């Protein structure tokens, strides 16, 4: 991956975002440029890449502040009237690009930890009485784990996909391949089709495996110029 191309993409996406450079996770989602494409090669921090592109890194680009994450949960609690589940957070993140992904909230711990931190933040603040009431209604007894409260369960729903547009193939990862196809497809001049998807408990690791395997055939980002044998090798894997 060429350094100049990455800088060009930082500038392009920043311009489309009102002059504000994207955070690392959103930049990866928008461009397909992974951390391993630049980390240890050109920069050791995403903020350094942002600076070299001519911007000033903002607070949220390095790491989400815990208090800021709590405030995001509070806003969502008020919006839906209950403690958000992973599904609620995924929907909100999908609809609002500025809202963190569900995985980001792991910094706050499990459900019980999140409730405690929200209550501690709202303590002695009368304006948050509605949020306090919602949190107090959350059962303290052990509940059935959902995908938000179990990293192993969450990982089981990951996929590494192979898509084709024109003569080029894209290899990426997603929890929802069909939705990812739609997001990518609306930006392309030619139709995009899902060739195959591999179910895996390690989406990042398996994606990196295929990227490395086809490294010599990489065009830009996650796009590759693959032949029939390459595609056949990918399609033979149902689970990794």
Residue 98 CB coordination number (10 Å): 10
Say whether pLDDT at 135 is over 80. yes
CA nearest neighbour of 180 among 168, 167, 162, 200: 162
Instruction: Note the pLDDT of residue 153.
Output: 41
Domains of the chain by residue range: 3-62, 66-149, 156-235
Query: Starting from the edge strand earliest in sequence, which strands make up the sheet with 158-165, in order?
Result: 192-200, 158-165, 168-174, 223-224
> pLDDT digits over 63-103, tens only?
456 788 899 999 999 999 999 988 888 888 878 767 877 77
Residues in Cβ contact with 96 at an 8 Å cutoff, skipping those fewer than 6 apart:
none
Contact 62, 25 (CB under 8 A): no
Instruction: Note the pLDDT of residue 63.
Output: 44
Mean pLDDT confidence for 47-59: 82
- Tell whether pTM > 0.85: no
Pure H helices in 34-141: 46-52, 59-62, 66-80, 86-95, 111-122, 129-136
> pLDDT digits over 211-228, tens only?
999 999 999 889 999 999
Describe the crossing of helices 111-122 and 129-136 by its angle, rounded to 10 degrees. Answer: 150
In the predicted model, what is the mean pLDDT of the chain? 83
Contact 21, 50 (CB under 8 A): yes
Residues in Cβ contact with 85 at an 8 Å cutoff, skipping those fewer than 6 apart:
146, 148
Element (H, E) at 168: strand 168-174
Burial per residue of 194-219, b for 16 or more beta-carbon CB atoms within 10 angstroms, e otherwise: eebbbebbebeebbbbbbeebeeebe
Q: Find which of 27-31, 68-72, 156-160 is predicted with most confidence, using mean pLDDT.
A: 68-72
């Amino acid at each position: 991956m060429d350094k100049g191309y990455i800088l060009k993409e930082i500038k392009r996406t920043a311009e489309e975002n009102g002059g504000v450079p994207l955070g690392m996770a959103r930049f990866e989602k928008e461009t397909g440029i992974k951390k391993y494409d630049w980390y240890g090669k050109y920069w050791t921090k995403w903020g350094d890449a942002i600076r070299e592109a001519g911007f000033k890194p903002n607070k949220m680009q390095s790491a989400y502040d815990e208090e800021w994450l709590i405030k995001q949960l509070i806003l969502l609690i008020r919006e839906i009237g209950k403690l958000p589940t992973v599904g609620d957070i995924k929907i909100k993140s999908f609809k609002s690009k500025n809202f963190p992904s569900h995985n980001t909230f792991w910094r706050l711990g499990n459900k019980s930890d999140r409730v405690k931190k929200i209550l501690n933040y709202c303590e002695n603040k009368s304006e948050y009485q509605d949020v306090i009431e919602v949190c107090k209604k959350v059962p303290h007894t052990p509940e059935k784990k959902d995908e938000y409260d179990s990293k192993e369960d969450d990982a089981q729903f990951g996929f590494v996909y192979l898509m084709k547009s024109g003569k080029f193939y894209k290899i990426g990862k997603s929890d929802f391949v069909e939705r990812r196809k739609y997001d990518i497809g609306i930006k392309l001049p030619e139709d995009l089709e899902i060739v195959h998807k591999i179910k895996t408990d390690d989406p990042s690791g398996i994606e990196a495996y295929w990227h490395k395997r086809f490294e010599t055939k990489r065009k830009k980002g996650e796009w590759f110029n693959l032949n029939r044998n390459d595609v056949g090798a990918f399609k033979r894997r149902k689970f990794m």
